Amino acid sequence: MSGAPVYRGSFGPTQAERLLWRAGFGPRPGESSRLAKQGLRSAVRSLVEPPALQLSGPEAQDDRGHPLAPRDAFGHDHLWWLDRMVRTNQPLVERMTLVWHDWFATSLQGVKSQALMLDQNKLFRENALGSFRDLLLGVTKDPAMLVWLSGNKNTVRAPNENYGRELMELFTLGADRGYSEQDVREQARALTGWRGNVKKKVATDFAFVPRLHDRGQKTIFGKSGAFDWQDSCRLCLEHPSHSSFFVRKLWSYFVPTMPSTSTQAALEQLYRAKRGAVKPVVEAILLHPDLHTGPRMVKQPVVYTAGLLRARGRGIDTAAWWKLDDASGQRLFYPPDVAGWDESRWLDTATFRGRWFVAMTALGGAQEGSAPRDPARLVARAISFWGSPEITGTTRSVLTAWARKQLGSSSPALVESALRQLVATAPELQAA
């Protein structure tokens, strides 16, 4: 038991739908009802302990019907990952891979190798719900991160502070939380010794070279020793500020409001008791009342896109998706900077236009023969088209009134097509 509160209210299809959006990429048709029958605890357990990986549905292809080339073709890395989000039966694992991509934000813009970025993506996925210590050690020596934050240029003769600073500020402790500029400099010394480069998109010679490492005494957080890169990570994880930072940051990916003081303390205690294991903390968050009764949370663009495709049972069949998601404010493997994406800016007048075209493309011009002239039935059919997501009475009333007005001058088929687009872009589909 975590010691954190557990949601005790009703757990029906509406609550299951929110859970599937927060811990994955939304439900496939009928999935919310099936999950609700399990009850909350069993539903959460099925997400944190998923079955063996299976990708179901049509395999991804480009506009010409060719298989994707994610390590070579421009934009195919985004399409490849989006395909996994759409077809996976391990949605929480894939969602946590996205969390770590934002937490340890690394961009192809600086790395310049899709192969290295995909290797890092594999690292995130393999450690999705495992040990944060193992993940941090893996990231610290990961070639993509070494290039991104100049770890491959950090030597005893020319210490580079980039990774050492972000290790504390963004990855483990938080800005101005118990470390000094002297600690930054000493961390840089401890992290020396790695080399490697990317030439013509080919990674070469990534390795730890002892002669490039500063073997001298360092003092970090008031402790002294001949620290190396592993000690650098360990000292951050043992710092008094780490557990509170970890809990608060992880919580923010699932719940849009701050945890209470008691919840924060309970999750920190759980994290420490489980020796830095991620899964127990995620499970406790998914069971928490704040996730189920709190305000709605805006969906990330790629989550929104993957969800529409899952609802339609449609795979990646066009290269347009990476451009559409980019226009919506999020291109995978291209976070804007080392701090990751700004979650408060997912919806604005510029990026909503991108979402509009995402919905239109997901719609794909589908027609279902003749359509009824009854506006309420047209609205119901349009909602059913997207797998029957939860739509409020207010939105239904607005859509019904609009359909009634349009039927005076347009055919039912055209009105139904427009309603499908409007449902996909309704407030209920933008947040969960």
Taken as a whole, the chain contains a residue count of 432
Instruction: Tell me how many domains the chain contains.
Output: 2
Does residue 170 share a domain with residue 116? yes
Instruction: Tell which of 231, 263, 293 closes a domain.
Output: 293
Last residue of a domain, one of 293, 328, 355: 293
Look at 156 and 368; give whichever has higher pLDDT.
156
Looking at the structure, do residues 190 and 308 belong to the same domain, yes or no?
Answer: no
The SS3 assignment for 319 reads coil
User: Is the distance from CB of 107 to CB of 149 less than 8 angstroms?
Assistant: no
Amino acid at 402: W
Residue 2 lies in a domain: no
Last residue of a domain, one of 236, 263, 293: 293
Q: Domain containing 171: what range?
A: 13-293
Burial 325-351 (b: 16+ CB within 10 A, else e): bbbbbbbbbbbeebebbeeeebbeeeb
194 plus 257 within the same structural domain:
yes
- Judge whether 236 and 165 are in contact, CB under 8 Å: no
Tokens of 55: 């990708």
Q: Are residues 236 and 190 part of one domain? A: yes
Identify whether residues 135 and 249 lie together within a single domain.
Answer: yes
pLDDT single digits (tens) 296-315 = 999 999 999 999 999 999 99
Beta carbons within 8 Å of 107's beta carbon, 6+ residues apart: 148, 333, 334, 335, 336, 337
CA distances, 274 to each of 44, 267, 268, 402, 429 (Å): 18, 10, 10, 54, 36
Residues 260 and 392 in one domain: no
CA distance 192 to 190: 6
**Same domain, yes or no: 388 and 257:** no
Residue 1 pLDDT more than 70? Answer: no
Q: pLDDT band at residue 100, thresholds of 50, 70 and 90? A: very high
Average pLDDT of the residues of the chain: 96
Q: Could you tell me if 185 and 116 lie in one domain?
A: yes
pLDDT average, residue stretch 209-227: 98
| pLDDT tens-digit series, residues 378-432 | 999 999 999 999 999 999 999 999 999 999 999 999 999 999 999 999 999 999 9
Indicate whether 330 and 195 sit together in one domain: no
